[in-house]
Amino acid sequence: MPSGLTGRLVACSLLMAWLLFLVSSNSSSSSRPGAEEEEAAAAEGADEEKALRVLVLLPKDNAYLFSLARVRPAIEYAVRSLEANGTLLPAGYKFRLFYNDSDCGNRAFFSLVDMVALRRQWPDLLLGPVCDYAAAPVARLASHWNVPMISAGALAAGFSAKTGEYSHLTRVSPGYAKMGEMFLALFRHHQWNRVLLVYHEDKEQRSCFFAAEGVHVVFREAGFHMDDFAFDESAKYAEDVVRAIQASERVVIMCASSDAIRNIMLAAHRQGMTSGDYAFFNIELFNSSSYGNGSWKRGDKYDLEAKQAYSSLQTVTLLRTVKPEFEKFAMEVKSSVQKQGIHHDDYVNMFVEGFHDAIVLYVLALREVLKNGFTKKDGEKIVHQTWNKTYEGIAGPVSIDANGERFGDFSVMAMTDPETGTQQVIGNYYGKQGQLEMFPNVKYPWEHKLRIDDSRSSEQTSNAACKSSGGLGESAVTGIVVGALLGAGLLMAFYFFRKKYKITIERRSQLEEYNIGKHRQLREDSIRSHFSAA
């Protein structure tokens, strides 16, 4: 490790330590959360007792699908309906919402520290952040300070390590590892145990890297054989990807923008790979309402080819449910978001819905905790009340597992009519039951052709085996390391990363914003090099 690096590492830890010291010394005379040493009027004190301070940490930048402007109406809708109901919220309790820009970086952490250190206010609940690297330090502080944290993001597999520093985190959206479980069920259904993971690696947002990691973590556990190929959409890639597939496995899971998927499928089609010798899967989680009616169609001269190619492609999306209440919610959110000048098709995505349900979950847990004679300050008690629980969310039932992770329901879509190119749901996966229900009478293009289990292993072993252990294998390990290990480290790594790669945070265009990933991430090698040495 270069010495300059060490210096900065030390400086950073000192800063961290100092911040923590500042906070703890400030609060040492008072016992902890909410203790008002300022001799507030008695009535005001009682008010404080029953004020539920929620610190919402989300990015201001509307390029993110979970920006403050998009999510705020959903949170306020939830608060309004809980306060209006009169029976759900314990008597006298009122929400007080604070919003801060998390910026998908350290800013979330600083906001939390500021709130406590400078304003001497302890949040009773943290909502967000969504970006993994913003969420990690906040989650650590949450467990240190015994504050419950609920997020509809922080989807990386590493956050499921709840025994240590992420002990106070509950995830109300299915993380990538839950999606991995869905793929596992699907592969078992088809009797496959080998896969090639192809993903777009942008070295910035990295949501496809983390999505692929989620599959990797679950498949590794199951002893499947895996290979992986990362590519960069900003360069030429389609031919490279197709060559990589030809040299590897015949079942391929891809994560990339819809344009990239189309280009890859066109290239594969031209190589004669779309007549049943290969099976392609595409991960499309966050834009699913708009999916299903011809994503192959662009109105260009390749439409016909693309339609043929897509007969070998199946898409995995979130299974979305709707109920009457949801319509009203969606309308209100839509009109609030539109008032802020944001226009797109999908106003209520997984994150928007998730943060609504987060508030509801918190209130349910709080009621239980109060009933058992504890207070809103018993953070750990509240967190554990949010686990192993099924309740009614805005769009349908929400089930949180015993580890504080939402079970995921997913749909598989496929082209059911090659003439018109119509794509439809051909099966659903219900995470809580761990049950995959594929519809009967679906014709698979690879029927009888694809028996992966025995065919590939002999010709492939040397090459693929090496690559998979060096590629995503280690990255996946890194993900867990990130999850489990680094105290102040992540902050430092982030700092180095910014220095080293000079990320410029650009405003993305309206068109791009649908395609971008959700996380601003570190390169795995930057973490690995710093923390294997640290």
Ligand X SMILES: *[C@@H]1O[C@H](CO)[C@@H](O)[C@H](O)[C@H]1NC(C)=O
Q: Per CB under 6 A, which region of 12-20, 103-111, 442-450, 459-467 contacts ligand X?
A: 103-111
Q: How far apart are CB 360 and ligand X at their closest, in Å?
A: 9
Q: Does 514 bind ligand X (CB under 6 A)?
A: yes
Report the SS3 class of residue 282.
Answer: strand
Interface residue with ligand X among 460, 515, 526, 529 (CB under 6 A) is 515
Which contacts (CB < 8 Å, 24+ apart) does range 186-192 have?
186/412, 186/427, 186/429, 186/436, 187/219, 187/224, 187/251, 189/436, 189/438, 190/251, 190/279, 190/450, 191/451, 191/453, 192/251, 192/450, 192/452, 192/453
Q: Which is nearer to ligand X, 225 or 262 (CB)?
A: 262
Asked if 94 and 51 count as a contact pair (C-beta separation under 8 A), the reply is yes
For residues 295 and 371, what is the distance between their CA atoms, to the nearest angstrom?
Answer: 51
Q: Does 290 bind ligand X (CB under 6 A)?
A: yes
Near ligand X in 375-414, by CB under 6 A: 388, 402
Q: Per CB under 6 A, which region of 15-23, 93-101, 123-131, 366-374 contacts ligand X?
A: 93-101
Interface residue with ligand X among 143, 193, 258, 315 (CB under 6 A) is 258
Q: Which is nearer to ligand X, 192 or 347 (CB)?
A: 347
Q: Which is nearer to ligand X, 191 or 290 (CB)?
A: 290
Q: Which is nearer to ligand X, 209 or 224 (CB)?
A: 209
Q: How far apart are CB 114 and ligand X at their closest, in Å?
A: 5
The Cα-based distances of 156 to 218, 225, 373, 395 in angstroms read: 13, 21, 35, 24
Q: Which is nearer to ligand X, 366 or 464 (CB)?
A: 366
Q: How far apart are CB 47 and ligand X at their closest, in Å?
A: 19
Q: Per CB under 6 A, which region of 4-12, 25-33, 180-188, 287-295 contacts ligand X?
A: 287-295
Q: Does 85 bind ligand X (CB under 6 A)?
A: yes
Residue 105-144 contact track with ligand X, rule CB under 6 A, x = bound: --x--xx--x------------------------------
Q: Tokens 């109300």 identify what position?
A: 172
Asked if 281 and 314 count as a contact pair (C-beta separation under 8 A), the reply is yes
Q: How far apart are CB 58 and ligand X at their closest, in Å?
A: 12
Near ligand X in 189-218, by CB under 6 A: none
DSSP for residue 179? H
Q: Which is nearer to ligand X, 4 or 86 (CB)?
A: 86
**H-helix or E-strand containing 184?**
helix 176-190
For residues 246 and 243, what is the distance between their CA atoms, to the nearest angstrom?
Answer: 5
Q: Which is nearer to ligand X, 338 or 388 (CB)?
A: 388
Residue 531 CB coordination number (10 Å): 17
Q: How far apart are CB 193 and ligand X at their closest, in Å?
A: 30
Q: How far apart are CB 25 and ligand X at their closest, in Å?
A: 21
* Residues 6+ away with beta carbon under 8 Å from 234: 202
Q: Does 257 bind ligand X (CB under 6 A)?
A: yes
- Site size with ligand X, rule: CB under 6 A: 21
Q: Per CB under 6 A, which region of 59-67, 79-87, 333-341, 360-368 contacts ligand X?
A: 79-87
Asked if 274 and 268 count as a contact pair (C-beta separation under 8 A), the reply is yes
Shortest-Cβ-distance residue relative to ligand X = 290
* Residues 6+ away with beta carbon under 8 Å from 176: 155, 156, 157, 210, 211, 213, 214, 215
Q: How far apart are CB 467 and ligand X at their closest, in Å?
A: 28
Q: How far apart are CB 287 and ligand X at their closest, in Å?
A: 4
For residues 406 and 400, what is the distance between their CA atoms, to the nearest angstrom?
Answer: 4
Q: In what order do the strands lie in the sheet with 125-127?
A: 94-101, 51-58, 125-127, 149-151, 169-171
C-alpha 118: how far from its chain's center?
A: 31
Residue 465 CB coordination number (10 Å): 14
The binding site for ligand X (CB under 6 A) comprises 85-88, 98, 100-101, 107, 110-111, 114, 257-258, 287, 290, 293, 345, 388, 402, 514-515
